[in-house]
């Protein structure tokens, strides 16, 4: 909205930039932290709690209504994320993985819900929270199940390689596991949401500018393209939002599974 206001003032098209992710406080005089993404984060968490409560509070042996949907989500996370990496430990880690998946998914979906239109995870703080949580669990479980030395030994010296390779392999594995993995875990989700929102905002503002603000015979087809692309990209974005939630949860399961069993 702020971008569009600016554009109207200038009268010339200006592509939206990173500033579209910055939100002022909700009302004048509100504390600086009380802005739209924060509000959406809280609302999202509450919605997940309420939905999950209606689905699972009193589960029936023969599922009805929303319990069916809930079970579909549960079995999806269990069969696609947890079981491939955790095997028989899958059930034990489902509370964490299901919470993770549902919250990320809804926070992502906020990006395409009219009026809300900002994926909460496009603010890097939220992916960081998730990634750090998984990272801490990963390190803790690794040391607990493989021993302090054993964990790092298994990590840096995967068996079955010629000795010389370890000179190169060991530091790479260490950096990859302890630094790159959590970094990419968080940034992958953040960057996808960030870029997706930017693309949607770009096409939407093209359409809005050339069809409503500056309607000219030359600009109108461009505005039409912008409008069509917005529609198309919204569909694509829904797919990406789901995919990233799934991927994040799957990677979380993979990290936890890797710490539980040294399978290298």
Partner 1 sequence: MTLAATVLAAEENNPLLPHTYELVVGGLAFLLVFLVVGKILTPRIQKTLAERTEAIEGGIQKAENAQAEAQAVLQQYRDQLNEARQEAARLREEAREQGAQIKAELREEAQAEARRIVEAAHAQIEADKAQALAQLRSEIGRLSTDLAGRIVGESLEDEARQRRVVDRFLEELEGSGTTAVR
How far apart, in whole angstroms, are the C-alpha atoms of residue 108 and residue 193? Answer: 7
Q: How many residues bind partner 1 (CB under 8 A)?
A: 53
> Does 167 participate in binding partner 1 (rule CB under 8 A)?
no
End-to-end CA, the chain: 51
Stretch that binds partner 1, among 5-13, 145-153, 202-210, 254-262 (CB under 8 A): 5-13
| One residue of 11, 14, 53, 243 binding partner 1 per CB under 8 A | 53
| Least distance to partner 1, CB of residue 111, Å | 15
DSSP β-bridge partners for residue 43: none
| Least distance to partner 1, CB of residue 116, Å | 15
Beta-carbon contacts of 86 under 8 Å, excluding residues fewer than 6 positions away, are: 92, 93, 253, 256, 257, 260
| One residue of 36, 66, 76, 96 binding partner 1 per CB under 8 A | 96
> Does 14 participate in binding partner 1 (rule CB under 8 A)?
no
By beta-carbon proximity to partner 1, the closer residue of 22 and 220 is 22
By beta-carbon proximity to partner 1, the closer residue of 3 and 234 is 3
Binding mask 117-156 for partner 1 (x = CB under 8 A): ------xxxx-xxx--x-----------------------
| Least distance to partner 1, CB of residue 263, Å | 25
The position carrying tokens 């030395």 is 149
By beta-carbon proximity to partner 1, the closer residue of 58 and 163 is 58
| One residue of 15, 26, 30, 49 binding partner 1 per CB under 8 A | 49
> Does 170 participate in binding partner 1 (rule CB under 8 A)?
no
**In this structure, are residues 214 and 92 in contact, taking their beta carbons and an 8 Å threshold?**
no
Stretch that binds partner 1, among 81-89, 97-105, 149-157, 254-262 (CB under 8 A): 97-105
| Least distance to partner 1, CB of residue 52, Å | 4
Spell out the SS3 assignment of the chain.
Answer: CHHHHHHHHHCCCCCCCHHHHCCCECCCCCCCCCEHHHHHHHHHHHHHHHHHHHHHCCCCCCCCCHHHHHHHHHHHHHHHHHHHHHHHHHHHHHHHHHHHHHHHHHHHHCCCCCCCCCCHHHCCHHHHHHHHHHHHHHHHHHHHHHCHHHHHHHHHCCCCCCCCHHHHHHHHHHHHHHHHHHHHHHHHHHHHHHHHHHHHHHHHHHHHHHHHHCCCCCHHHHHHHHHHHHHHHHHHHHHHHHHHHHHHHHHHHHHHHHHHCCCC
| One residue of 29, 61, 64, 115 binding partner 1 per CB under 8 A | 61
By beta-carbon proximity to partner 1, the closer residue of 30 and 174 is 30
Give residues in contact with partner 1 (CB under 8 A): 2-3, 5-6, 9, 18-19, 21-24, 32-33, 37-38, 41-42, 44-46, 48-49, 52-53, 55-61, 70-71, 74-75, 91, 94-96, 98-100, 102-103, 123-126, 128-130, 133, 194
């Amino acid at each position: 909205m702020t971008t569009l206001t600016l554009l109207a003032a200038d009268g010339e098209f200006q592509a939206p930039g990173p500033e579209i992710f910055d939100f002022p406080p909700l009302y004048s005089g509100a504390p600086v932290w009380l802005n739209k993404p924060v509000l959406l984060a809280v609302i999202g968490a509450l919605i997940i709690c309420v939905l999950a409560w209606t689905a699972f509070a009193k589960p029936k042996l023969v599922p009805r209504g929303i319990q069916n949907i809930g079970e579909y989500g549960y079995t999806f996370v269990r069969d696609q994320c947890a079981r491939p990496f955790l095997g028989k430990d899958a059930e034990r880690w489902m509370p964490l993985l299901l919470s993770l998946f549902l919250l990320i998914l809804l926070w992502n979906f906020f990006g395409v819900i009219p009026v809300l239109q900002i994926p909460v995870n496009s603010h890097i703080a939220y992916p960081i929270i998730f990634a750090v949580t998984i990272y801490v669990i990963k390190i803790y479980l690794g040391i607990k199940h493989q021993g302090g030395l054993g964990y790092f030994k298994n990590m840096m010296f995967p068996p079955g390689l010629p000795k010389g390779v370890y000179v190169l392999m060991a530091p790479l594995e260490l950096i990859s596991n302890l630094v790159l993995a959590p970094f990419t875990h968080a940034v992958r989700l953040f960057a996808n949401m960030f870029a997706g929102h930017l693309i949607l905002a770009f096409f939407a503002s093209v359409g809005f500018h050339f069809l409503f603000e500056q309607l000219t015979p030359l600009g109108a087809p461009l505005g039409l393209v912008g409008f069509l692309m917005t529609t198309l990209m919204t569909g694509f974005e829904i797919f990406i939002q789901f995919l990233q939630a799934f991927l994040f949860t799957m990677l979380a399961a993979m990290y936890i599974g890797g710490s539980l069993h040294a399978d290298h």
